[in-house]
Amino acid sequence: MNSVREPGTLVIVHRVPVSITPLHEWLSEVLDRIVLITSTESADGYRDVLDYVIAVDDYPHNPAVVEHVDELCRTRRVERIVCGTEDDALRVAGARERWGIPGMTVHETLPYRDKLLMKDAVSTVVHTPRYTVPDSLGEAEEFAEQAGWPVVVKPRLGYGSRGVRVVGNADSLREELVGRSGDDLLLEEYVPGTVHHVDGFAYQGKVLWSVSSRYLNNCLSWQEGTSLGSAQTDPEDVLSKRLEAFAQAVAEVLPIPEPTPFHLEVFQHAKTSELYFCETAARTGGGHILDVLERATGMNCVREWYRSQCGLPHRADRPEFSSERFGFLLVPPRQGRLRSIADDYPVYADVRMNASPPQVFGPAAASTDTVMGLIVSGTSNELVEERLSSCMEWASRAMEWEAP
């Protein structure tokens, strides 16, 4: 007589707060099988809704995260290990390999994290800015002279625009390279023009569906204290079609073995209008990209992705798209004391406040560090961009700051 095998443990490695990712609602039918490893800051919120929560200090850098995963795999029959942020992707992939658990492997994950491997792969199918990993300051200066100033300095394994700098001369390049690890360094040709992003689901080398958007300002605007915005493009726009084809070409050389969200960033050259690869990730985009995608598609991509990773029924195929376009604005902090924020919010904006004046801020450390976010909609990309520009003007006058 055949015995029925009991379902195994689902280990979820996840630092995002329950207010953003209500795992207990998304995975309600398997709550008794979940062990969550999360940050100390997020743990209390999850303890109210999950039975087994492990809190870890300094979560992104603490080896205890992996140690907890390995201990669970030693002492339980772990069926799946689930994660959704880039600081977890490689360490979870390594644990899956060690314990023979399904999911993305290190080999499949690394090109989505290491920008050198990423660019080596995609440069065979799409235009890619010139890039190098210099062995010395001399090699770095030689590359910059050949590529032309300015050049972009970035970490190979970075995310959220952390550690990315645009430098315009040899002195600035020398200063920027001091203290950087040569093992986590990439130099790249600067491409002038607009920046676009494509978000959707991919599976085994095929884009299942996608939504294209254009950034207002750029992903490094926060370094100058300027807001970053993004507006979805009109699907009938020729550029939208070009971006869709670009995303498909990238997906084919970086195939994902299971249905997974992706976030692709693309430059459009100011003079030639040619599209150039910036970078891509096997996850949803940051900021409010998840929010505007859900409004455009009726689908929460992270919910469906987590259900897929848990082996549960999920949606990943082409959704019913809204006839409206959506966009968002991220307003970064300044270094100083935020005394007040006016409450005469734009009537067409959904405002997400991340500050409680009076409050002291340091400078933003990443593109997603914000005082507030605003989400707008409209019948066209043009209208969404107009509204985001108005929101940008409102935010600049609505905040009252004092110098530190």
Residue-level pLDDT at 348:
95
Residue-level pLDDT at 221:
54
Report the C-alpha gap between 277 and 150 in whole angstroms.
Answer: 18
Which strand ranges, in their side-by-side order, compose the sheet holding 34-39? 53-56, 34-39, 9-13, 78-83
Residue-level pLDDT at 162:
79
Residue-level pLDDT at 4:
59
Residues 85, 13 contacting (CB under 8 angstroms): no
Residue-level pLDDT at 404:
73
Which strand ranges, in their side-by-side order, compose the sheet holding 275-281? 275-281, 260-269, 193-203, 206-216, 228-232, 325-331, 372-378, 350-353
Beta bridge pairs of residue 144: none
Residue-level pLDDT at 186:
94
Say what the pTM is: 0.92
Report the C-alpha gap between 285 and 85 in whole angstroms.
Answer: 10
Q: How many CB atoms lie within 10 A of CB 45?
A: 16
Residue-level pLDDT at 1:
44
Residue-level pLDDT at 158:
80
Helix (H) or strand (E) holding 23: helix 23-26
Residue-level pLDDT at 366:
67
Question: Mean pLDDT per segment of 10 residues, for the chain of length 404 residues?
Answer: 75 96 97 98 97 97 97 98 94 97 95 96 97 93 95 88 88 89 90 96 96 83 74 96 98 94 97 97 93 96 96 92 96 90 94 91 75 96 97 93 84
Residue-level pLDDT at 299:
95
First and final C-alpha spacing in the chain:
74
Helix (H) or strand (E) holding 98: helix 86-99
Phi/psi at 171 (5° precision): -65, -45
Report the C-alpha gap between 83 and 249 in whole angstroms.
Answer: 26
Domains and CATH numbers, the chain: 9-103 (3.40.50.20), 130-189 (3.30.1490.20), 193-402 (3.30.470.20)
